[in-house]
Chains A and B, each alone.
Chain A
Amino acid sequence: GQQVMQIPQYQHVQEGEDFTTYCNSSTTLSNIQWYKQRPGGHPVFLIQLVKSGEVKKQKRLTFQFGEAKKNSSLHITATQTTDVGTYFCAGMESGASGSRLTFGEGTQLTVNP
């Protein structure tokens, strides 16, 4: 089955520094989604990327989808304490039984003020 790998597992930054997490899939993805989970909370949908080479921005967050549609990245510029949490990528599989997401292991971000 599809496997989604994410690195790094942990990242500690000083407030104001940039942060990047990378996601790689064992198979070509139809699309990739990104979620954020605050400590003690549940995952919240951030964005979906569909097209090869696609780049999307949400304020200080920049999301990229690789040309081969097998990798993706999330970059946060000038981190703030509100960015603390675990960021997950998830690849979508579609088949006869419907669609399902396979999640990466996540990158846990801590921001020192």
Chain B
Amino acid sequence: DGGITQSPKYLFRKEGQNVTLSCEQNLNHDAMYWYRQDPGQGLRLIYYSQIVNDFQKGDIAEGYSVSREKKESFPLTVTSAQKNPTAFYLCASRRTGTYGYTFGSGTRLTVV
């Protein structure tokens, strides 16, 4: 079955460390997105990419970085510059010309 795989499901990080969240899709979707969700809040866009080797900052890109070297993969790095990284991170994809986003099951990041 096609879908989006995010790993790991839970991640603990020590303050001051960088960490990379994986997002892989086998849906042949062109566009991919990273959102952050805090408890009781909506989804805020971090970065998005419409095609390979190109990406744009979203509303809260500071302290994050991404790469899009392959169509299937869009990893997100949470750097030590991110002041409050503890959150639920959701990756999504969409095929050009279609409607809704397909989301992965998310990664819960906790800074300890």
Question: Which residues does chain B contribute within 8 Å of A88, judged by CB atoms?
Answer: 42-43
List B81-101 residues whose CB lies under 8 Å from chain A: 90, 92, 94, 99-101
Q: How far is the CA of A48 from the CA of B58 in the complex (A)?
A: 22
Interface 0/1 of B38-64, CB less than 8 Å to A: 001111110010100000101100000
Q: How far is the CA of A108 from the CA of B37 in the complex (A)?
A: 14
Question: Which residues does chain A contribute within 8 Å of B94, judged by CB atoms?
Answer: 99
Of all chain B residues, which has the CB nearest A33? B100
Contact (Cβ within 8 A) A45 B100:
yes
Question: Which residues does chain A contribute within 8 Å of B31, judged by CB atoms?
Answer: 98-99
Closest Cβ of chain A to B28, distance in Å, is 17
Q: How far is the CA of A44 from the CA of B41 in the complex (A)?
A: 16
Contact (Cβ within 8 A) A42 B103:
yes
List A93-113 residues whose CB lies under 8 Å from chain B: 97-106, 108
Closest Cβ of chain B to A81, distance in Å, is 21
List A28-67 residues whose CB lies under 8 Å from chain B: 33, 35, 41-46, 48
**If A43-B103, A45-B100 touch, does A97 touch B50 (CB 8 Å cutoff)?**
yes
Question: Which residues does chain B contribute within 8 Å of A44, judged by CB atoms?
Answer: 103
* Residues of B in contact with A (beta carbons under 8 Å apart): 31, 33, 35, 40-45, 48, 50, 56, 58-59, 90, 92, 94, 99-106
